[in-house]
Structure 1
Amino acid sequence: MATPDVPEEEPAAPRPVRRLVGLLRPQRRAVVLALVTGVGGIVLNAFGPLLLGRITDLIADGVLGGGPGPAPGVDTSAVGRLLLGLLGLYLVASLFLLAQGRLVASAVWCTIHDLRRHAREKLTRLPLRHFDREPAGELLSRTTNDIDNLQQILQQTLAELITAVFSLLTMLVLMLVISPVLAAVMLLSVPVSALLAALISKRAHPHYAAQWSANGALNAHVEEVCSGHALIKGFDRRAAAEQRFDARNDAVYRAAAKAQFASGAMEPVMMFVANLGYVLVAVVGAWKVVSGSLTLGDVQAFVLYARQFSQPVVEIASVAGRLQSGIASAQRVFTLLDAPQQTADPHRPDAPARAEGRVEFADVSFRYSPDTPLIENLSLTVEPGSTVAIVGPTGAGKTTLGNLLMRFYEPDSGRILLDGTDTATMTRDDLRSRFGLVLQDTWLFGGTIAENIAYGAPGACRADVVAAAEATCADRFVRTLPQGYDTVLDDESSTVSAGEKQLLTVARAFLARPAVLVLDEATSSVDTRTEVLIQRAMNSLRAGRTSFVIAHRLSTIRDADLIVVMDGGRIVERGTHDELLRARGLYARLHAARTHRTTATNVATS
């Protein structure tokens, strides 16, 4: 539960709008077609009020200039033709706008599809340092919630923005054609609307950024609670977890409420300004009709244009407000895409001429955090075929050596050599294929037991799998299962015990027969009898290969060729078990403390 209650403010990705446009570039054909169809629909719609004005003038002239009876002077055939033309005009315009919506949706979905792929590829290239620093729930939020929000905002606003902008331009041209004076009156509201829209958007953006950042922290907390449910129940931390959830949930609520209020204020403010312009146009237009400078049909058409002119202004302002949410999500996604990734493999990789298993740490330094020293200037040479045990108090850097060996992390300085070759000049696949790794946490997948053991050696036959299981004492429990080696493990491997899982991972590592073994607390989950059996199997399987044994149980490393004692990231002692006990240093104190603890435990259980 290391996530802070208040999410830290992250640096914004540069130029999110420009980068969003860049993401749409592969879909430029669909975007251009959407522009063309959108403009076509807008232009056709724009001629509607002109036709209506013409119909009004025909009816008005006929009524005012005709004799007695119901509109005897009206040219009904001309009015009918104009009405049919108007119907066809609106029908074709609707088809154009329907095509525009389809094209925009296709372009957005393809863009978001590519963005999800980029995010997935980025996650595979991020170094482990990034996952140490950022909770899994936060990464999940960026790759799901933020991308989903971006997709919805783009799909909702892109077509509206295209339609609104070109509608605005078309309406402006037609209004200038009808009456430049009335157009100037209507344009008085534009700078006021633009200024208010800019002020509201500027105020809304920080709230949207805070909302999605708080949402990511909430998701991270939920993921931690779900994955650590047993731990929370075991230590009675339910109340604390609920309190942290409520705090994060309240943070999301407060940020979202402020963002929605700021964004929601956009439309009513714009509508108020537009209505003021509409009133001015109506008053001035009526005066011009009375004065005879404009016809009634012209004023009617202009009033319709004025109403349509104010609508895209309001839409653009509303889109600008909603875009702030999309920009905030885009910044979070782009921050992930811009995160430093692990160094690429060399273009011309090197490889050891022979796989002997000689390992050398040459003046290696490493820190997880720049402000916290861990390993400083460590040098160690391990000869082929030897077994080196690494012991020390918690936080001494024991497991870190294994991580550096396999390039899960890169050293800050110094070199690590495998058979005389700098591991930094090798590809990661080649390097890791020469190592066998067994950790305290077991790695099993949904599949048969035979498939799990053979995972480290894909070409292994059933006889090889059985031989590896026999050598690591796993065969005895596998044969007691109903389907034996064909027993299917579920994703959580609940059909076997923790110790049996560990035996399977040891068998997997042994079947791969690597040049170097790294055993990090590999026997911590098995009982004492099984531990003894595994130690015997290890003694025979270590022949001809180098082994690094990281252990807290000092009884498991008595027979190691070399015991390295680490403290504070430095090697403080080295030697055999007997030599270190005689030296009466840190190893002797650790041995005495653990012997005393084991004796006390045995007395308590008896």
Structure 2
Amino acid sequence: MKSLFRLYRFLIPYRIPSVIALLLLFAMVAADLLIPHLTQRIIDQGIGAGDLEVVITTAMFMAGAALLSAAFAIANNYLSVSISMAFGADLRSAMIRKTQSFSFANLDTLQTGKLIVRSTSDVNAVQMIVMLSLRILTRAPIWAIGAIILLVITSPRLAPIMAGAIPLIILLVWLFGRRAQPLFLIVQQRLDRLNIVLQENLAGVRVVKAFVRSQRETTRFEAANDELMTGTINVARLMAVFSPIMLLLLNLSITAAVWLGGKTALSGGMTVGEVVAAINYLSFALFPILMLSGMLGPISAADASARRILEVLDADTLPRRDDGAVITHQQGRIVFENVSFSYPGETSEAVLRDISFVAEPGQIVAIVGATGSGKSTLIHLIPRFYDVNAGRITFDGVDVRDFDPAVLRRMIGIALQETVLFTGSIADNIRYGRPDADDEEVRAAAKTAQADAFIQGLPEGYATMVGQRGVNLSGGQRQRIAIARALLIKPRLLILDDSTSALDIETEIKLQDALDALIASARRAITCIIVAQRISTVLLADKIIVLDHGQISACGSHQQLLQESSVYRDIYRSQLGELSAAEGETHE
């Protein structure tokens, strides 16, 4: 329960309405507990004494108590629902804010499917318990305690029945809680797996159809679905045994009270009204305990959900730093000094080892290498998507770890290997990093990215709506929009992570010429780092870095590398064929 209680801090902004809701509960319970006493008065002083006036007067008091109880209940329900919904909204917002601060390492651990479940069904489970805490979970113990006190006052002879039943009920509740909580945690974990499989299935439905793998994906989903069903059935079986046992104890206790009370009344030790009132108080004491026992399932589920939510909220992320470094005269000089890196949790050798190079302001630096050589990993270290394990990276002489992550990333424009577009217009997607950019700036960035021509050819131009994940655009069109988005923020460092792979050669050459012109004409130097698979993309770069198994194999211009790097020559031959005569002579 510790995890669940920790999340109650999100109720602090609503403490005043929460207190009012609890006060309404006390008033409602007081009105409810008054009714058995009034029932006793009607029987003993009204019916038993033949006094109709007492019957009528007491009945009116009972009606008033019932009306007050209903009014208090309505007000309490209204406040409880409002508070719990606001609590859930705040908790979901906190989850999203935390997720937005995640590094790539965090996202590697907490997958998208898991985050979706924790932000939806897990939050809903905790939100439900908050609402019940302001209603049943608080009302039941108050009701039971009040009923026990009044039972002892009204009929001390029947109180021992309560003394015997309550410890047994508490023992059963404790045993059930110990058994139920791990079962509910298993259900939530299996729900995670189901959502991950479902997300992959839906996101990759075109690939599934293309490779005729529908049966395989259906089987995979059914396996996860069956696991969830089995876990849920295990919980239901436990509840199926527990609830009837608790109800049996309640009925046996009432039966014992009726038998003992009736026997005592016949011998003159109690009045009929006292017996009826005592039985009512006994029911009032045991029934709330039965209600609480029935809530153990949702409580156990909510506690399991709270633990999973706290895994997100407590995750170590890159902290915002108000005292982080600030560069007043940005140049865009990037220096790698003996950088090594391995992914969190990996036991294999480092992905990058002893990487050292300099990207001077205004330079175009290209990074090439075989698949898996560490190219994308290297550029992910600059904006601190991951932090280095050894060495350091400096931006204009300042270690990137000394920056607030948000400040650092505002100086960097990046088009990632996987192009992600958002629902909205093309202009909105280009303007994503600079919402205040005007239409002329948007179009200028699109022109440089060689996107303006095809955008103007669309029926609604820049106002054309982008389908989910850019499905109504080609791969090359999505890449050019992503490059325009990176250019619009006017970065000091532009990173293109294999973001021209879907472009035809002619468009790519035009893009390279436009980038050269932009860098040459910029008032402040723009450094450009390009990760590329195609050699044709990097031929005119100022510096080409060749990565091989996580290490720098060679560094230099295209002509230098043809002479000095066998790895580079092999890549060149595999893509562009044999070296030309002039190049061959140079190498010889």
TM-score, L = length of structure 1 = 0.87
Q: Tell whether the 8 Å contact from 2:46 to 2:54 is kept in structure 1 after alignment.
A: no
Q: What is the aligned counterpart of 1:35 among 22, 42, 58? A: 22
Closer, same or farther in 2 for the Cα pair 1:560/1:168, shift >3 Å? Answer: same
Shift of 1:496: 4.3
Shift of 1:589: 2.1
Q: What is the aligned counterpart of 1:281 among 240, 245, 257? A: 257
Could you tell me how far apart the structure 2 residues matched to 1:124 and 1:576 are? 39
User: 1:526 aligned to 2:503?
Assistant: yes
Shift of 1:451: 5.3
Structural mapping, 1:43-54, within 5 Å: 43-54=30-41
User: 1:366 aligned to 2:341?
Assistant: yes
Question: Which stretch of structure 1 is more off in the superposition, 508-517 or 391-400?
Answer: 508-517
Q: Tell whether the 8 Å contact from 2:419 to 2:482 is kept in structure 1 after alignment.
A: yes
Shift of 1:214: 0.9
Q: Tell whether the 8 Å contact from 1:440 to 1:525 is kept in structure 2 after alignment.
A: no
Closer, same or farther in 2 for the Cα pair 1:50/1:545, shift >3 Å? Answer: closer
Could you tell me how far apart the structure 1 residues matched to 2:4 and 2:39 are? 40
Could you tell me how far apart the structure 1 residues matched to 2:484 and 2:63 are? 78
Closer, same or farther in 2 for the Cα pair 1:385/1:81, shift >3 Å? Answer: closer
Shift of 1:188: 0.7
Encode CA deviations 1:478-527: one digit per residue, 9 max, x unaligned. 44445555555455545543323333433444454433322222321111
Shift of 1:253: 0.7
Q: What is the aligned counterpart of 1:428 among 369, 391, 405? A: 405
Could you tell me how far apart the structure 2 residues matched to 1:75 and 1:460 are? 86
Shift of 1:423: 2.2
Q: Tell whether the 8 Å contact from 1:520 to 1:551 is kept in structure 2 after alignment.
A: yes
Q: Tell whether the 8 Å contact from 2:18 to 2:134 is kept in structure 1 after alignment.
A: no
User: 1:571 aligned to 2:548?
Assistant: no
Structural mapping, 1:121-160, within 5 Å: 121-156=97-132, 158-160=134-136
Q: Tell whether the 8 Å contact from 2:424 to 2:465 is kept in structure 1 after alignment.
A: yes
Q: What is the aligned counterpart of 1:502 among 447, 458, 479? A: 479
Could you tell me how far apart the structure 1 residues matched to 2:118 and 2:65 are? 45
Closer, same or farther in 2 for the Cα pair 1:262/1:359, shift >3 Å? Answer: same
Q: What is the aligned counterpart of 1:213 among 189, 204, 227? A: 189
Structural mapping, 1:412-451, within 5 Å: 412-446=389-423, 449=426
Q: What is the aligned counterpart of 1:386 among 333, 344, 363? A: 363
User: 1:558 aligned to 2:535?
Assistant: no
Structure 1 stretches lacking a partner, 5+ long:
1-13, 63-73, 599-606
Question: Which stretch of structure 1 is more off in the superposition, 126-135 or 140-149?
Answer: 126-135
Q: Tell whether the 8 Å contact from 2:103 to 2:384 is kept in structure 1 after alignment.
A: no
Q: Tell whether the 8 Å contact from 2:184 to 2:235 is kept in structure 1 after alignment.
A: yes
Q: Tell whether the 8 Å contact from 1:154 to 1:326 is kept in structure 2 after alignment.
A: no
Could you tell me how far apart the structure 1 residues matched to 2:163 and 2:231 are? 36
1:167 match: secondary structure: helix
Encode CA deviations 1:118-165: one digit per residue, 9 max, x unaligned. 212211222221222222121111101111122234334641122221
Q: What is the aligned counterpart of 2:84 among 93, 108, 119? A: 108
Structural mapping, 1:180-329, within 5 Å: 180-329=156-305
Q: Tell whether the 8 Å contact from 1:201 to 1:263 is kept in structure 2 after alignment.
A: no
Letter in 2 for 1:344: R
Encode CA deviations 1:152-200: one digit per residue, 9 max, x unaligned. 3433464112222122112111211122221112321111111111111
Letter in 2 for 1:41: M
Q: Tell whether the 8 Å contact from 2:46 to 2:53 is kept in structure 1 after alignment.
A: no
Letter in 2 for 1:199: L
Encode CA deviations 1:315-352: one digit per residue, 9 max, x unaligned. 1211233311221222221222111222323x333334
2:384 corresponds in structure 1 to 407
Q: Tell whether the 8 Å contact from 1:435 to 1:514 is kept in structure 2 after alignment.
A: yes
Shift of 1:269: 1.1
Closer, same or farther in 2 for the Cα pair 1:276/1:532, shift >3 Å? Answer: same
Shift of 1:249: 0.6
Closer, same or farther in 2 for the Cα pair 1:114/1:456, shift >3 Å? Answer: closer
Structural mapping, 1:57-136, within 5 Å: 57-58=44-45, 61-62=48-49, 74-136=50-112
Letter in 1 for 2:571: L
Question: Which stretch of structure 1 is more off in the superposition, 580-589 or 397-406?
Answer: 580-589
2:585 corresponds in structure 1 to none
Letter in 1 for 2:388: P
Closer, same or farther in 2 for the Cα pair 1:440/1:103, shift >3 Å? Answer: closer
Could you tell me how far apart the structure 2 residues matched to 1:461 and 1:251 are? 53
Question: Which stretch of structure 1 is more off in the superposition, 184-193 or 452-461?
Answer: 452-461
1:251 match: secondary structure: helix
Could you tell me how far apart the structure 1 residues matched to 2:237 and 2:428 are? 56
Shift of 1:23: 3.3
Closer, same or farther in 2 for the Cα pair 1:379/1:91, shift >3 Å? Answer: same
1:164 match: secondary structure: helix
Could you tell me how far apart the structure 2 residues matched to 1:547 and 1:459 are? 24
Q: Tell whether the 8 Å contact from 1:360 to 1:382 is kept in structure 2 after alignment.
A: yes
Could you tell me how far apart the structure 2 residues matched to 1:25 and 1:469 are? 48
Identity of aligned residues (%): 31
Closer, same or farther in 2 for the Cα pair 1:383/1:238, shift >3 Å? Answer: same
Closer, same or farther in 2 for the Cα pair 1:365/1:83, shift >3 Å? Answer: same
Could you tell me how far apart the structure 2 residues matched to 1:555 and 1:153 are? 60
2:528 corresponds in structure 1 to 547
Larger radius of gyration: 1
Q: Tell whether the 8 Å contact from 1:465 to 1:511 is kept in structure 2 after alignment.
A: yes
Could you tell me how far apart the structure 2 residues matched to 1:448 and 1:169 are? 61
2:567 corresponds in structure 1 to 586
Letter in 1 for 2:168: V
Q: Tell whether the 8 Å contact from 1:357 to 1:418 is kept in structure 2 after alignment.
A: yes
Could you tell me how far apart the structure 1 residues matched to 2:433 and 2:312 are? 32
Q: Tell whether the 8 Å contact from 1:157 to 1:319 is kept in structure 2 after alignment.
A: no
**Root-mean-square deviation over aligned CA pairs:** 2.7
Could you tell me how far apart the structure 1 residues matched to 2:421 and 2:97 are? 24
Closer, same or farther in 2 for the Cα pair 1:120/1:587, shift >3 Å? Answer: same
Letter in 2 for 1:586: V
Closer, same or farther in 2 for the Cα pair 1:164/1:489, shift >3 Å? Answer: closer
Could you tell me how far apart the structure 2 residues matched to 1:210 and 1:152 are? 20
Could you tell me how far apart the structure 1 residues matched to 2:443 and 2:26 are? 71
Could you tell me how far apart the structure 2 residues matched to 1:461 and 1:57 are? 85
Could you tell me how far apart the structure 2 residues matched to 1:164 and 1:227 are? 46
Question: Which stretch of structure 1 is more off in the superposition, 447-456 or 304-313?
Answer: 447-456
Shift of 1:477: 3.5
Task: Report how many aligned residue pairs link the two structures.
Answer: 573
